[in-house]
Every structure is written in structure tokens, then in C-alpha cells.
Chain A
Amino acid sequence: MKHLRYFAFVLAFFPGFFALGQGYFTTTYNIAVPLGNTKDFIDKTSPRGFGIEAGAWLNDNVSLGLEFSWNGFYKEYDYDTYHNIDGSTLTLSGRMWRYTNVYPLMGVVKYYLNSDSDFEAFLGAGLGTFIINKRTDFGLYTLEDHQWHFAMYPEVGFIYWFSDATGFTFNTRYNWAAKSGDIDAQSNLGFNFGFVFYSF
């Protein structure tokens, strides 16, 4: 339920962008391919994710926005035996479930290459925080860690405007979060597609 709480929190700030006038609102379905430490923990692509972004155009080529999204990585393991836990003589057998939930809360800047066209390619960057929750369920036991990470991403994408106020958008991002607390640096490659709504 935590992601609902974050979602509600961020949503409360979004209407401010519409007041700027030349604004936009984006909703996307997000897929993420784990990389690095994220992949070491869960090596399965996440099909669970969404993103919302609201922003305003500063001029024809540049927009600023705020983005909140979620990617849920998950993998379950069959019954197995694990020896030498933490270097000791402890051996454990059981089923294991691993979860990594990533909640980016980012400021976003985008530069549009061909703003007069229905097909607008853009380059972007995000800077902010990833709230990351890592959890392992093993038998009846749960190991959980929860941290806020400094994070950033470069992105490349496009918008195809199929009406004056609505467009299809796709972007890909290299999401990176610095080590925080006991959670190592995390990264994934995101593929996000959805709709953009233009606010006049």
C-alpha cells in the first residue's frame, strides 16, 4: 500500500503545473530491465510499473516537469537449500520471494528537437530521489530495507500528437540511484509508453 501513499502525495502537487498554462500531463505504462546490483538481486524484467508526469513548456523547445513513477521487480524461487549463510555453518531450506519496489520522484527537463512537427523527438534528464524498498521473504521471515536515494536519469523519447491536445509518447531511460544506507547503487533501463495531454 506504500506506493498508493506516495502516489497520493505527489498527485497533490500536480495541479500547480496546470496553473502555468502551457502545460502537459503524461501517464505511462512502465517496463524496466534490471541492471547491476538490481539485477544481482532480481534478474527478471519488471512488467509492473506506471508513471505520471506534469509540467509546463518554458518555450517551444524546453519543458520542466515533475514525475512520479513506480517499478516493481519481483521473483519467486522454488524450494531450495542455501548453505553457509553469512559465512556460518547455518543451512536454510525453504521458498524465497524477492521484491524491489522503486518509486522515483524526479524533476524533469526536456529539450524538443522539432517542436513544430506532430512527431516531436526529445532528449531529457531527471534529477531527484528514488525511494527504494527491498524485501526478501523466506519462509515466515522477512528481511526488509527502505531507503531514499539520490537519483538521476538521462532519457530519449518522442511524442506523436494525433490530435491538438493528445499524443502518444514513448521514452527510454537509464535510471540510476546512488548507494544509500544498506542498499547499494541501483540501476535499470526503463521503457515507458503512454499518453500526453496538452493543457492550453
Chain B
Amino acid sequence: MTQKNNFRTWGYLLILSLPFLLFSCYPGGPEYVEDMDLVATKYDETFDFSKVNTYIMPDTVMPVYDPDYSEDADPVDAQMQKLILDEVEKQFDQLGYERIYDTINGYPDVYVTLSAFTSTYVGYYYDYWYYWWGYYPYWPPYWGGGYYPYYPWGGAVVYSYTTGTVLIQMMDPNHVDMDEQKIPVVWIGAINGLAEGGQTNISERIKRGIGQVFKQSDYL
């Protein structure tokens, strides 16, 4: 009887201790905000990047919005816009791309747009460039309002919930689909992470992310 009781006592103690053991050895995971940062790039294999020498890039980073909630589309913070624009221009400079600011003396080889958003949804999206083609100076006159970017090489990268994303898109103005009113995107770079950690931290991570976008795109 005594032995039986001993057995039960030990048994119950061990059973009770197992969950604690289990908790204590649970593996780790991301510890810092920057651990979750992700950089994604994708390009059109049929496009010859070696022939690109000039680009045009508006001085605006556009917000991206869900068409069902367009009232949520606030302008991107001015300081953040400047940081993104400066960093992207610096990277293109290092590649030897010449930035042009108007089309008086001819059109550039590619168009570059920048967008940013804090997303709370997954799926399709429009950015305000969709509406701006017709208004922004120096864009080809045949790009009226209503043209939208498309991805002839199989879709954009994925977006997720409650995250911050900076999007760099390069488009080919020489292969615009006039009938369908579509502009082929030949390269896309996305910097994605948690939009948390303070302004300085976020700025540093965005700069680092933009650097990585270009670093891993050695075909540019």
C-alpha cells in the first residue's frame, strides 16, 4: 500500500512538472524588430537592364491604399519621403544611372516610382500613381489617367498585415500596352517590416533595406 502511494505521489509530481519543463525549453524566435525585416526583389527576365542609362523619378513617395478604404490613404510623412528619395537616388547614382527631371530632351530608359504604406490587408492594391499619370509633369503624354502597372513576369511580392512596406518599381516606357492601358513593371523592390521601434530605428532600417534591395539586384 505504501509503495502504491509512493508511486502515485511520484507519478503525479512528474506529470505536474511536465508542462513546466515544456515551457522552459520552448525554442526561441525573433527578438528584435529588425529580425523581422524582409527585403524582396523580382525582375523581368526578358528585360535588358544593361541598356538602362537614364531614369525619371517623381519627388513624391505615394501612399498605397485599399480601394475600399481610400479615406485611410494619408500622405507619407515628408521626412520619410525625403529619406527614401535620397537613398534611392544615391543607389542609382552608384550604379551609374543618370536621373533626368524632364522630358524636354527625350525620354528616359525607365520610370521609377516609390510607394509606401502601412498595410492592414492582404491582396490587390492600387497606389495613387494610378490616378496621377495624367497630372504629373513630363510623363509621356499618351499615359493618360487610368494606366496602371502590371507584372508581366508573374505578380508582385506578397504583402501582409500591420506592416510597413516601401516599394520601388521600375517600369519600361517603351513597351506600354496601349490597348489594355498597362505599363510593364520590369523590376520591383520591397522593404517590409514592422512599422515599430521609433522614428530613428525605422529610418535606419529603411535605409539599410534600400541598400539591400540594390545589393541583391546585381543585374541592374
Chain A interface (Cβ < 8 Å from any Cβ of B)? 3-4, 7, 11, 25, 27, 47-48, 50, 52, 70, 72, 74, 76, 81, 83, 88-95, 97, 99, 137-141, 164-166, 195, 197-200
Chain B interface (Cβ < 8 Å from any Cβ of A)? 3-4, 6-7, 10-11, 14-15, 18-19, 21-22, 25-30, 35-45, 153-154, 157-158, 160, 163, 192-194, 212, 216-217
The answer on a CB contact under 8 Å between A166 and B39 is: no
The answer on a CB contact under 8 Å between B41 and A90 is: yes
Q: Give the contacting residue for B39; candidates A27, A50, A92, A198; CB below 8 A.
A: A92
How far is A83 from B26 in the complex, measured between Cα atoms in Å? 31
How far is A169 from B26 in the complex, measured between Cα atoms in Å? 25
How far is A194 from B138 in the complex, measured between Cα atoms in Å? 76
Knowing A89-B42, A91-B41, the reply to whether A48 touches B25 (Cβ < 8 A) is yes
Q: Which residue of A lies closest to B41 (CB)?
A: A91
The answer on a CB contact under 8 Å between A139 and B38 is: yes
Q: Which residue of A lies closest to B219 (CB)?
A: A89
Knowing A27-B18, A50-B21, A140-B194, the reply to whether A90 touches B4 (Cβ < 8 A) is no
List A contacts of B19 (CB < 8 A). 4, 7
List A contacts of B28 (CB < 8 A). 74, 76, 97
Q: Which residue of B lies closest to A72 (CB)?
A: B27
The answer on a CB contact under 8 Å between B43 and A89 is: yes
Q: Measured between C-beta atoms, what is the minimum distance from B120 to chain A in Å? A: 13
Q: Give the contacting residue for A95; candidates B30, B153, B212; CB below 8 A.
A: B30
The answer on a CB contact under 8 Å between A52 and B15 is: yes
How far is A3 from B14 in the complex, measured between Cα atoms in Å? 17
The answer on a CB contact under 8 Å between A47 and B22 is: no
Q: Measured between C-beta atoms, what is the minimum distance from A129 to chain B in Å? A: 20
How far is A7 from B22 in the complex, measured between Cα atoms in Å? 11
Q: Measured between C-beta atoms, what is the minimum distance from A99 to chain B in Å? A: 7
- Considering residues A25, A47, A91, A99, which has the most beta carbons from chain B within 10 angstroms of its beta carbon? A91
Knowing A7-B19, A50-B18, A89-B43, the reply to whether A197 touches B11 (Cβ < 8 A) is yes
- Considering residues A50, A52, A76, A93, which has the most beta carbons from chain B within 10 angstroms of its beta carbon? A93
List A contacts of B153 (CB < 8 A). 88-89
The answer on a CB contact under 8 Å between B18 and A197 is: no
Q: Measured between C-beta atoms, what is the minimum distance from B220 to chain A in Å? A: 12
The answer on a CB contact under 8 Å between B192 and A140 is: yes
The answer on a CB contact under 8 Å between B30 and A97 is: yes
Enumerate 20 A-B pairs (CB-CB under 8 Å) in ascending A order.
A3-B22, A48-B27, A52-B18, A74-B27, A89-B44, A90-B40, A91-B216, A93-B40, A95-B36, A97-B28, A97-B29, A139-B36, A140-B160, A140-B193, A141-B38, A141-B158, A164-B3, A165-B3, A195-B14, A200-B3
Q: Which residue of B lies closest to A165 (CB)?
A: B3
